[in-house]
A and B are shown apart, each in its own frame.
Chain A
Amino acid sequence: MPTEILMPALSPTMEKGNLAKWLKKEGDTVKSGDVIAEIETDKATMEVEAVDEGTLGKILVPAGTNDVAVNTPIAMILADGEDASALKDGKPAAAPPPKPAEAAPAAAKAEAPAPTPAAKPSTVQAPAVPVALEPEVPEGTELVTMTMREALRDAMAEEMRRDPDVFVMGEEVAEYQGAYKVTQGLLEEFGARRVIDTPITEHGFAGVGIGAAFDGLKPIVEFMTFNFAMQALDQLINSAAKTRYMSGGQVQVSMVFRGPNGAASRVAAQHSQDYSSWYSHVPGLKVIAPSNAADAKGLLKAAIRDPNPVIFLENEILYGHSSPVPKLDDYVLPIGRARVVRPGKDVTLVAWSMGMTYAIKAAEELSKDGIEAEVIDLRTIKPMDTATIIASLKKTGRVVTVEEGWKQSGVGSEIAARLMEEAFDYLDAPVMRVCGKDVPMPYAANLEKLALPSVAEVVEAVKAVTYR
């Protein structure tokens, strides 16, 4: 049966083109790869190669023809043993050229159960992500006061004892014992095979960690600070976050990227930035930012076990803060669940990580003025526990968010938008955002203080939304 050569498309957007020239004539022998014609569009000229072997039996579209529609048969190729009699009427024995791009979705429709307008992709509902409940800490459990730094170290050590596939890599994590001493003692216990000092090469070692995770290991990649993770952003987003999806679920990237995030003190613009909202933008990533030792331990253990890539944002100033941690064999907290830290009826303050220090102090100040603030520690930025915020809003009618990050496209903006979309009727005042100022972090002590949020600003925002 003769084979048709169809007018090809140079790009998915091309609909027609000009047949500039035939390089073979009727009766010529052609084999795969032979250039048989040239076609042109307004953008480019392109050669048409034969895919099939045989004899050029008939040219259906002569050279110089303009505006030939894509997929129009332009010539017929005769296979070995066929002669021109197979070309009656200059038409192929085969059916007219298919319109595969349309035929295919039709086939899909036939498969889909009862197609309705609601079945359009744009209206497919994202499945609700189930989140585990906060585990009960048995009454009488001993509480051990420790720093956040120690809690993080204990979390890693416990998980490394539990799972031989877990290892830590990063700058100064081993022999130096951690630039901020978070990995102190790990080299001694687990050895250089599992506690690995890297060169200063964030893009490279982030990629190496992700490659190891492709193969089933469970790396903890420490960034000395998240400021330097900017060098690795492509690997974090394009390789870690998207690979499960791009592989149709085959390849898993079960790993943690952790390190201090946000402003430390007097280290100026390039070393003082909050990345909470940046990473929370990306599907495929989970983002955690704890504010105290117990949450740091329970959530880091959960992050290490999680089958997805987790961005774990710590804070240099909080490393030295001490708080009680339940003394349990295996204290693991659910990712994606906020916690009401302080109950109140007049306003809801939502914060996380360092923002919690402002929120808690502001709540204490406000209490003196007779305003009882409910304080929510978000703990996980993505997936966000909107339900807990809405439940609180239903009580208070007012929400103020607190973060060190910049205002535009910040996490507070996301919370405000969700509350408008999902709980508009419960809002008695606009949601207010207390954020870092819209400037690179200044070095001078007085300016740095001004650039960060303050307790006074939180108090002021609360007074504004409570109309006091």
Chain B
Amino acid sequence: MAVAQTTQTAEKASPVAGNGAGPSGAVKIAEFTKEQELQALRQMLLIRRFEEKAGQMYGMGLIGGFCHLYIGQEAVVVGMKLAARDGDQMITGYRDHGHMLACGMDPKGVMAELTGRRGGYSKGKGGSMHMFSLEKKFYGGHGIVGAQVPLGTGLAFANKYRGNNAVSLTYFGDGAANQGQVYESFNMAELWKLPVVYVIENNRYAMGTSVTRSSAQTDFSKRGISFNIPGSQVDGMDVRAVKAASEEAIAWCRAGKGPVILEMMTYRYRGHSMSDPAKYRTKEEVDRMRTEHDPIEQVRKRLLDKKWANEEDLKKIDASVRAVVNEAAEFATHDPEPDVSELYTDVYR
């Protein structure tokens, strides 16, 4: 009985219900220039091809432990990054490879961390879920669901303390949105008017538990209401909508008005992690998202429709992205493991 009800509700909830409204509530439609479309395409393709390769390498036993792929959600991080500026920080949970690539981190270093090699961003000591780049302002890569939310709020605290006008982009999922520390953070962020955009990547499933089975309030953009934090739902499959909402949210933060919540309506095509057969959703649901809402196909279609590119051009882009990913995979396969002396380094300084 309960199960049947849940299924019905899930059917009703459209994954792309968002309108891209920012804190002001105004609906934004952001047309991209040709260059912006091409940039978004390259970045999203890089993430997708990288993740496909990571999945393949996991299957070959080159990547161990947990490996959470970002396939399907590419428009979220790419759209956000297009609106951010140098100095803005990014922090997220364990589904983090896409965020790192969007921050401009070297795919070789990311892949080598996945394979646990010395050339990885954490010298092979962090793995898929724990990678950082202070240079690129990427603060991890956190394996405990929700823990990155106070940490990202702390980055915003540092921005305000220093008066440097930077904004913290703090990402978490619909699952983490039910953690208590998220609301402790919301309270402090609004109380102290901290410059933080809380980006809730609602991919509809916290591992195998759907939003409707786990959340009393399934509209996560409303989760800040009791703290007076504005929020909006955004079509997280459309990179243009993400960028528009992100621009407005970041501007709100930079103006000293405090935090903003953006709920990105998105979808992951793969299982929660590599070992998840994803039996909790139908094949049709996944197929529908892939064929009707794919973030990359949307850009490709616009480029072709507007005659800004032809199939040949797009093939070339794909080939160049594949070359980058293959180079990363090659490096990550042959880079040596960390020297045994690294066991005891980096515990203290």
Contacts and interface: CB of A to CB of B under 8 A. Distances in A.
B155 A12 contact: no
B192 to A, nearest CB: 8
Given A112-B340, A204-B188, A100 B155 contact: no
Interface residues of B, number: 79
B185 A217 contact: no
A85 interface: no
B133 interface: yes
A466 interface: no
A214 B123 contact: no
A243 B148 CA distance: 12
A212 interface: yes
A120 B61 contact: no
Contacts of A440: none
Interface in A64-120: 70-71, 98, 100-101, 103-105, 107-108, 110-112, 119-120
Contacts of B277: 10, 44-46
Interface stretch (A246-254, A269-277, A398-406): A246-254
A215 B349 contact: no
A247 B132 contact: yes
A265 B135 CA distance: 50
A140 interface: no
B64 interface: yes
Interface string B1-40: 0000000000000000000000000000000000000000
B122 A211 contact: no
Contacts of A146: none
Interface string B314-349: 000000000000000000011111111101111111
A247 B130 contact: yes
Contacts of A49: 52, 55
A386 interface: no
Given A104-B115, A207-B147, A251-B140, A246 B130 contact: yes
A101 B62 contact: yes
Interface string A236-257: 0011000111111111100000
A206 B154 CA distance: 9
A132 interface: no
Contacts of A206: 150
A320 interface: no
Nearest to B346: A249
B195 to A, nearest CB: 12
Contacts of B313: none
A119 B133 CA distance: 30
A119 to B, nearest CB: 6
Nearest to B163: A193
A443 B322 CA distance: 68
A323 interface: no
B187 A204 contact: yes
Contacts of B55: 49, 51
B233 interface: no
Interface string A334-346: 0000000000000
Interface string B213-252: 0000000000000000000000000000000000000000
A171 to B, nearest CB: 12
A249 to B, nearest CB: 4
B144 A211 contact: no
Interface in B105-153: 115, 117, 120-126, 130-134, 139-144, 147, 149-153
Contact of A100 (B62, B139, B185): B62
A105 to B, nearest CB: 6
B313 to A, nearest CB: 16
A18 interface: no
Contacts of A167: 161
A54 to B, nearest CB: 12
A112 B157 contact: no
Interface string A182-214: 000000000001000011010111111111111
A308 interface: yes
A101 B140 contact: no
A24 B140 CA distance: 39
A14 to B, nearest CB: 8
Interface in A1-25: 6-12
Contacts, number: 229
Nearest to B341: A124
Contact of A124 (B143, B181, B343): B343
A62 interface: no
Contact of A8 (B49, B56, B140): B56
Contact of B125 (A12, A211, A248, A307): A248
Contacts of A12: 61, 64-65
Interface string B183-223: 01101100100000000000000000000000000000000
B139 A208 contact: no
A308 B349 contact: yes
Contacts of A121: 340, 343
Given A12-B61, A104-B336, A248-B120, A51 B52 contact: yes
B73 interface: no
Contacts of A103: 333
B275 interface: yes
Nearest to A219: B154
A312 to B, nearest CB: 16
A198 B149 CA distance: 17
B348 A100 contact: no
Contacts of B92: none
A174 to B, nearest CB: 13
A9 B180 CA distance: 36
A212 B161 contact: yes
A208 B117 contact: no
B150 A207 contact: yes
Given A167-B161, A208-B154, A212-B155, A246 B181 contact: no
B154 A214 contact: yes
A63 B335 CA distance: 36
A284 interface: yes
Contacts of B290: 33
Most B CB within 10 A of own CB, among A6, A45, A239, A250: A250
Given A10-B277, A250-B134, 18 more contacts: A10-B274, A12-B61, A12-B64, A33-B269, A33-B290, A101-B61, A112-B339, A203-B184, A209-B154, A211-B152, A212-B157, A216-B158, A246-B130, A248-B132, A249-B345, A283-B347, A307-B349, A308-B348
Interface of B: 48-49, 52-53, 55-56, 58-62, 64-65, 71, 89, 91, 115, 117, 120-126, 130-134, 139-144, 147, 149-159, 161, 180-181, 184-185, 187-188, 191, 269, 271, 274-275, 277, 279, 290, 333-341, 343-349
Q: Which 7 A-B pairs have the closest CB atoms?
A: A211-B154, A207-B150, A8-B59, A204-B184, A215-B158, A248-B123, A248-B122
23 contacts: A7-B59, A9-B58, A9-B59, A32-B48, A51-B52, A51-B53, A100-B60, A104-B334, A105-B337, A108-B336, A124-B340, A124-B343, A199-B187, A199-B191, A204-B187, A206-B150, A207-B181, A212-B154, A234-B147, A238-B144, A247-B122, A248-B120, A251-B139
